[in-house]
Amino acid sequence: MFNSRMPAPEDLPSSKQLVRSTIIAAAAAAAILVTVVLPSEYAIDPTGVGSALGLTAMGEIKTQLAEEAEMDRVNATVPARPATGQEDSSLTDWIVRQFGIASAHAQEAERQDEMSVTLQPGEGAEIKLTMTKGAKANYAWTANGGKVNFDTHGDGGGENISYEKGRGVAEDSGVIEAAFDGNHGWFWRNRTSAPVTLTLKTDGAYTDIKQMM
C-alpha cells in the first residue's frame, strides 16, 4: 500500500490564481453564451459572430416556427370549417365520436383528397386531418414554384406534437402517423414577396380533412 505525499504549500495554487482561473472560466462561458447559444437558439447576435458562422439563421428558424406554431394552436381553439363539399365525411366523424366505433375500424377507412390554397405575402394557412392514434396518412405538397415555411404537427385531447419543421421549402412528402387521437397536419407561411399557391394531396386512414381558420 502506497502513502501519497502531501503537496508542499508552494505547489498549491494561491488564492489569486484560483480567482483568476474562476474569472477566466466565467469569461469563456459568457463568450460561448453570447457567440453560440444566443444566436443559435434565440437569433440574438450582439457580436455578429453568429451571423458569420450561420448560427443566427438557425435561431431565426427556431423562433419563427415556434411563434407560428403557437399562433396555430391559439387559432385552433375555435376551429371553423369552410365549405369543402365533404359534409359526408363530417357525418362519418360524428358517428365515430357519438357511437364509439372502434379505432381499428376508423383506421381502416381509407380516403384520398386534394386541396389547394393561395397564400399572399406574409399570409399563413393550416390544413389538418382528423386521425385516431396509430393511423397513417401519406401526403405530398408543393408550393408550385414558390417556397414556404412549414410546421407539420398535431394536437388534440390536451396534447401537442411537432413532427417536422422547415424554412424556405418548395415541396415535401412522407407519412404522418398520428401520435394520439386528434388533428394532424400542416401550417404554412409565405415569407416571400409574391403569392404562393399550395397544393396538398393526401391518402390514408383519416376521417376528415379541413382548413383551419
Task: For residues 202 and 63, give the distance between their C-alpha atoms in angstroms, rounded to a whole number.
Answer: 29
Name the grid cell of 190: 409565405
Are 165 and 134 in contact, with CB atoms under 8 Å apart?
no
Burial class (CB in 10 A: 0-12, 13-18, 19+), 1: exposed
Q: Band of the pLDDT at 106, cuts 50, 70, 90?
A: very low
pLDDT (tens digit per residue) in 35-90: 777 766 777 777 777 677 776 677 677 677 777 767 766 666 545 455 454 545 55
pLDDT (tens digit per residue) in 187-212: 999 999 999 999 999 999 999 999 98
pLDDT (tens digit per residue) in 115-156: 999 999 999 999 999 999 999 999 999 999 899 999 999 999
Task: For residues 63 and 167, give the distance between their C-alpha atoms in angstroms, rounded to a whole number.
Answer: 12
